[in-house]
């Protein structure tokens, strides 16, 4: 494994691998010929270059499928996890409505769509959007550890439930939901089960053959692939039916029209291949870096709090609340050499504190004192040591300045 190119000696330490990961050099190498040597449209199968592009796309699709134990024809390529989540939730709901006697949700016995308060915004907003179309959204709470209690789901799922959507790994606090148990509960009532696995793929094992998930969303740039490409797994047996969100040329078996970006698809396929072969090794190494970073920071910052379940979390995630009336934005400003965040990159413009942290019971002041740290494949021991020292120094300076005011 080789590290990505270094822009310069003063390059900031990147610890924001939940927002995005740097593309693996092997991914960049795989993509390059499809920008320069063969830029053909993969749908242009009438000529040699088009057919070659189509073959490359299909080989990549097979690698994406292999990462989650699926068949290649069950993979629908999209622009990313946001589109995949929208297609899964709205597509399933709207197809069901189209089969009702009156063609609307009002004529459905199954109109309930269940999700969780800590889901990504695109899932929560998709579920809420469907309320205007006659569906019944149900947003379930999580415990202080960020996990959904299976009994809470069991009480909510019944014969009226069309779809349950629970993310595999939370994008802020990194907790891993117990998908086998949650899927089994949902299946008892005959509901479909969708999971946003953008933060899970390549970090934890996923096997749709072993756990009968119906719909699963992926994003390449969360697993060292390119931005702008994702996928939705759609189970074939028993068949899951969706209404498309886009009208057009009928690509992706009519579920997602639009020209496929062959270089991005190829990059996604290579990233998936690497994750399948090296994911376990990655996770072990990253967990060691995380533990090293946390030990150093806890030694320098007494009272530092880790949010989310202590064990059921992905190896590179730490969600940390700093004590002493600290302000996370001030800590980041005082440590410009470290790239961390206060929460989801998709919600970073929001003024209010993270809704995920509020959902697990943090008060507003604590939520505003919280940083998300994402350690990744290319993080070195020297970087975690340096980052811990810089953040500890930044915390001390901001708390001291606040006390003096």
Question: How far is it, in rounded angstroms, from Cα 44 to Cα 376?
Answer: 38
Residues 6 or more apart in contact with residue 278 via CB below 8 angstroms = 1
Which residue's entry shows tokens 């990462």?
67
Percentages (nearest 5) of helix, strand, coil residues in the chain:
45, 15, 45
The two tokens of residue 45 are 């199968």
Q: 361 with 144: CB under 8 angstroms?
A: yes
- Residue 183: other Cβ atoms inside 10 A: 19
User: Hey, is 354 helix, strand or coil?
Assistant: coil
Count CB neighbours of 305 within 10 A. Answer: 15
Query: 346 catalytic, yes or no?
Result: yes
Question: What Å distances lie between residue 287 and 36, 58, 281, 305, CA to CA?
Answer: 38, 34, 10, 18
3-state secondary structure of 320: strand
**In the numeric block, which tokens belong to residue 204?**
């934890």
Place of tokens 């697990």: 360
> What does the alpha-carbon distance between residue 288 and residue 304 come to, in Å, rounded to a whole number?
19
d(CA 123, CA 116): 9
Residues in the chain: 405
Catalytically annotated residue among 346, 358, 385, 396: 346
Long-range contact pairs involving 353-359 (C-beta distance under 8 Å, separation at least 24)? 354/172, 355/117, 355/118, 356/118, 356/146, 356/170, 356/172, 356/173, 357/172, 357/173, 357/307, 357/319, 359/117, 359/118, 359/141, 359/142
Residues tagged active-site: 346
């Amino acid at each position: 494994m080789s590290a990505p190119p270094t822009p310069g000696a003063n390059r900031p330490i990147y610890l924001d691998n939940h927002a995005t990961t740097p593309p693996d050099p092997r991914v960049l190498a795989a993509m390059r010929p499809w920008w320069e040597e063969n830029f053909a449209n993969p749908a242009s199968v009438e000529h040699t270059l088009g057919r070659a592009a189509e073959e490359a796309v299909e080989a990549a699709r097979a690698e994406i499928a292999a990462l989650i134990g699926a068949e290649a024809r069950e993979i629908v390529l999209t622009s990313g996890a946001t589109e995949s989540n929208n297609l899964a939730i709205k597509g399933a709901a709207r197809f069901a409505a189209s089969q009702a006697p009156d063609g609307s949700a009002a004529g459905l016995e199954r109109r309930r769509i269940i999700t969780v308060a800590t889901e990504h915004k695109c899932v929560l907003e998709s579920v809420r959007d469907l309320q205007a179309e006659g569906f019944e959204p149900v947003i379930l709470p999580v415990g202080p550890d960020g996990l959904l209690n299976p009994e809470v789901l069991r009480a909510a799922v019944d014969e009226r439930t069309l779809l349950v959507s629970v993310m595999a790994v939370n994008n802020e606090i990194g907790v891993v939901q117990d998908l086998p148990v949650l899927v089994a509960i949902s299946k008892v009532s005959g509901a479909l089960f969708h999971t946003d696995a953008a933060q899970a793929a390549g970090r934890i094992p996923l096997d749709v053959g072993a756990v009968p998930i119906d719909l699963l969303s992926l994003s390449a740039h969360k697993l060292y692939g390119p931005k702008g490409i994702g996928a939705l797994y759609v189970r074939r047996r028993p068949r899951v039916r969706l209404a498309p969100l886009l009208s057009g040329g009928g690509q992706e078996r009519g579920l997602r029209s639009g020209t496929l970006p062959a270089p991005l698809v190829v990059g996604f396929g290579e990233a998936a291949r690497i994750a399948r072969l090296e994911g376990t090794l990655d996770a072990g190494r990253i967990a060691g870096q995380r533990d090293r970073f946390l030990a150093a920071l806890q030694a320098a910052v007494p009272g530092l709090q880790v949010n989310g379940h202590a064990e059921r979390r992905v190896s590179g995630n730490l969600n940390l609340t700093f004590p002493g009336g600290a302000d996370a934005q001030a800590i980041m400003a005082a440590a410009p050499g470290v790239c961390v965040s206060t929460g989801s990159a998709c919600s970073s413009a929001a003024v209010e504190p993270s809704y995920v942290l509020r959902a697990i019971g943090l008060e507003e002041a604590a939520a505003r004192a919280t940083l998300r740290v994402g350690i990744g494949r290319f993080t070195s021991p020297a970087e975690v040591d340096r980052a811990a020292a810089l953040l500890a120094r930044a915390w001390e300076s901001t708390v001291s300045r606040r006390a003096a005011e």
